[in-house]
Amino acid sequence: MKTLDDLLGEGVSGRRVLVRADLNVPFDKNNPGVISDDGRARAVLPTLVALRDAGARVIVVSHLGRPKGAPDPKYTLAPVAARLGELLGAPVAFAADTVGDDAAAKVEALQDGQVLLLENLRFNAGETSKDDAERAAFAAQLASFADYYVDDAFGAVHRKHASVYDVPAVLPHYAGGLVLREVEVLKKVTESPEQPYVVVLGGSKVSDKLAVIKALLPKVDKLLVGGGMCFTFLKAQGHEVGKSLLEEDMVATCRDLLSEAQGRIVLPVDVVAATEFSADAGHVTVDASEIPADRLGLDIGPKSVALFAQAVGSAKTVFWNGPMGVFELAPFAAGTRGVAEAITKIDGFSVVGGGDSAAAVRTLGLDESAFGHISTGGGASLEYLEGKTLPGIEALEK
């Protein structure tokens, strides 16, 4: 892959550079338009600053949420443009469309060292179309705005979308520093992790993580399972799980995985069981084998935190993806916090696999610098670890 450094070496002063960023940031549910976690915006800043300082005319594109291929005010990137301007310390212009008249006018008006953000890519059906011709047509419109293309949106490289896969086929293309770092880190934990290697998986469903479990199990010393997915494993051990999240059709698969792992899969020994899914719900800590029929598990318990911390403590490499409980609700955040804090203390290299795990680090106020690497792409990270070809990376390598 050619890199951003290669592009800067060629000289970009006065040239238009289209930067695919991942600005799919979450918003405060109680305050529409207020960004609750700007981590992804901050992650692309080094690339934007480098291009701006080199005199490029920077055109940033991104998706936000999942609109249905048409404009939807709920998913406008306008608040993100404002926040990006604050982070850059200079105004970021905003186009009210992606490839329409306003975008064309704003691109034409760009001066050296200025930054423009176009409206949500997914307001255009061509961005996510399964039809190659429709996708390529939209990509050609985007590419017409620029002289060069830089992909620094690792969180989107697993999508065969126009701005990720098709634009690089039209423009001279380069990998941004964030994408390069992500690939370097994931290659390290996939191909040559220093042992002992411990993986911590959480989240809702076993089915979502099945492929990565199968890919990693032969490589790890311990695989710690928390979150909603642990209850399907507990059921596979013969325990009743009350009203906890359960994938009945995955119980036999979990039983097979436990047998194959020969003790390397570690499950919670106690859980915090609540009367309902609510911050105000009555809750009690019980043994994982004694979850009451009328309660549901919403976090791992303190004994499990200690067990997981002990396993993590001896590791030289840790990969963590998925919270241990419903960390957004204060009574059920202790499990995620405890395991995350244990990961920060290892004498080795730790990777937070993006998505809810990265959000938990910031929501819980943990020190981001205490982790070796915090990925910006949950889904992309998992697909890389599964051994899948990522369309965005493939496009950059051509």
Query: 112-146 pLDDT, tens per residue?
Result: 999 999 999 999 999 999 999 999 999 999 999 99
C-alpha Rg value of the chain to the nearest Å: 22
pLDDT band for position 355 (50/70/90)? confident
85 catalytic? Reply is no
Question: What integer pLDDT is reported at residue 37 of this predicted model?
Answer: 86
With a cut of 80, say whether residue 354 has pLDDT above it. no
* Long-range contacts, stretch 24-29, CB < 8 angstroms, 24+ apart: 24/62, 24/63, 24/64, 24/65, 24/155, 24/156, 25/64, 25/80, 25/83, 26/359, 27/79
Asked if residue 132 belongs to a known ligand binding site, the reply is no
CA 300 to CA 170: how far, in whole Å?
50
Q: CA nearest 96: which of 67, 114, 76? A: 76
Q: Is 66 annotated as a binding residue?
A: yes
Nearest to 372 by CA among 345, 347, 350, 339: 350
Report whether pLDDT(199) > 90: yes
Q: Check residue 65 and give left, alpha or beta (phi > 0: left; psi -120 to 50: alpha).
A: left
Span 69-76, average pLDDT: 95
**What is the model's pLDDT at position 31?**
84
Binding residue per annotation — 20? no
Percent of the chain with pLDDT over 90: 87
Name which of 31-35, 48-52, 298-302 the model is least confident about.
Answer: 31-35
Report whether 283 belongs to an annotated binding site.
no
For residue 377, indicate whether it is catalytic. Answer: no
Confirm or deny that 102 is annotated as ligand binding.
Answer: no
Q: Is 390 annotated as a binding residue?
A: no
pLDDT band at 194 (very low <50, low <70, confident <90, very high): very high
pLDDT at 22: 95
> What's the predicted TM-score (pTM) here?
0.87
CB atoms within 10 A of CB 45: 15
- Three-class secondary structure of residue 170 per DSSP: coil
Q: Is 387 a catalytic residue?
A: no
What integer is the mean pLDDT of 145-171?
Answer: 97
**Buried (b) or exposed (e) across 319-338, using 16+ Cβ within 10 A?**
bbbbbbbbbebebbbbbbbb
pLDDT at 15 over 80: yes
Q: How big is the chain, counted in residues?
A: 398
By mean pLDDT, which of 123-137, 200-214, 228-242 is the weakest? 200-214
Report, as an integer, the average pLDDT of 248-259: 96
Give the pLDDT mean for 281-287.
96
Residues 6 or more apart from 24 whose CB is under 8 A from it? 40, 62, 63, 64, 65, 155, 156
- Nearest Cα residue to 168 out of 7, 9, 24, 355: 7
Cis peptide, bond prior to residue 196, ω within 30 of zero: yes
Identified catalytic residue from 20, 40, 243, 295: 40
Question: How confident is the model over 322-340, as a mean pLDDT?
Answer: 95
Instruction: Identify the band that residue 376 occupies on the pLDDT scale cut at 50, 70 and 90.
Output: confident
The confidence score (pLDDT) of residue 120 equals: 98
Annotated active-site residue 337? The verdict is no
53 is in an annotated binding site: no
pLDDT of res. 275: 96
As a whole number, mean pLDDT of residues 63-87 equals 96
**Phi, psi (deg, nearest 5) at residue 173:** -125, 150
Q: Span 80-109, mean pLDDT?
A: 97
Residue 152, classed as helix, strand or coil, is coil
- Choosing from 16, 188, 205, 219, the catalytic residue is 205
Q: Answer yes or no: is pLDDT of 353 > 90.
A: no
356 is in an annotated binding site: yes
Tell me whether residue 242 is annotated as binding.
no
Is 63 within any annotated ligand binding site? yes
Residue 117: predicted pLDDT: 98
Ligand-binding annotation for 313, yes or no, is no
Question: Exactly one of 126, 301, 322, 355 is catalytic; which is it?
Answer: 355
- Considering 69, 113, 313, 379, which one is annotated as catalytic? 379
pLDDT of residue 229: 95
159 is in an annotated binding site: yes
Predicted local confidence at residue 256, as pLDDT: 96
Average pLDDT, the chain: 95
pLDDT of 329 above 90: yes
* pLDDT tier, 314 (very low <50, low <70, confident <90, very high otherwise): very high
Residue 53: count other Cβ atoms within 10 Å of its Cβ: 10
Residue-level pLDDT at 160: 97
Q: Considering only CA atoms, which of 28, 198, 25 is closest in space to residue 120?
A: 25
